[in-house]
Amino acid sequence: DTGVSQNPRHKITKRGQNVTFRCDPISEHNRLYWYRQTLGQGPEFLTYFQNEAQLEKSRLLSDRFSAERPKGSFSTLEIQRTEQGDSAMYLCASSLAGLGPREQYFGPGTRLTVT
């Protein structure tokens, strides 16, 4: 399968702990996006990378959140000192670079539960 993959698929952690999620985009895709989705809501944009450069961050991305894409391939999203409000599905998507309409391909998501 050459789609977007995310690991782990599920993560249960205690409040105050740090967690890290990984996203492997489709190999030729330069653009990578992170979104967060809470129950009953549509996904909300968190941050965007073009190759290794983080070009946009949402105000939702507090100081406790950090994302990297060190070699322009896979990306990690770390949440420090987790809070119960961080419980959500974290989705990664990738797309080709360039002008014109570019559809995004989403991974299956990582479901985080903070107890």
Among 45, 52, 72, 87, binds other proteins (CB under 8 A): 45
Cα distance between residue 91 and residue 39, in whole Å? 13
**Is 100 an interacting residue with respect to other proteins (CB under 8 A)?**
yes
Which residue(s) pair with 8 in the sheet? Answer: none
Residue 35 C-beta: closest distance to other proteins, Å: 8
Nearer to other proteins, 74 or 105 (CB): 105
- 3-state secondary structure at position 57: strand
Print burial letters for 92-106: b (CB count within 10 Å at least 16), e (below 16): bbbbeeeeeeeebbe
Alpha carbon distances (Å) from 31 to 47, 73, 93: 11, 10, 8
Residue 53 touches other proteins, criterion: CB under 8 A:
no
Among 7, 13, 50, 76, binds other proteins (CB under 8 A): 50
For position 32 contacting other proteins by CB under 8 A, the verdict is no
User: In the 8-state DSSP scheme, what is residue 71?
Assistant: T
How many residues contact other proteins, by CB under 8 A?
28
Q: According to the binding rule CB under 8 A, does residue 103 interact with other proteins? A: yes
By CB under 8 A, name the binding residues for other proteins: 4, 31, 33, 35, 41-45, 48, 50, 55-56, 91, 93, 95, 98-109
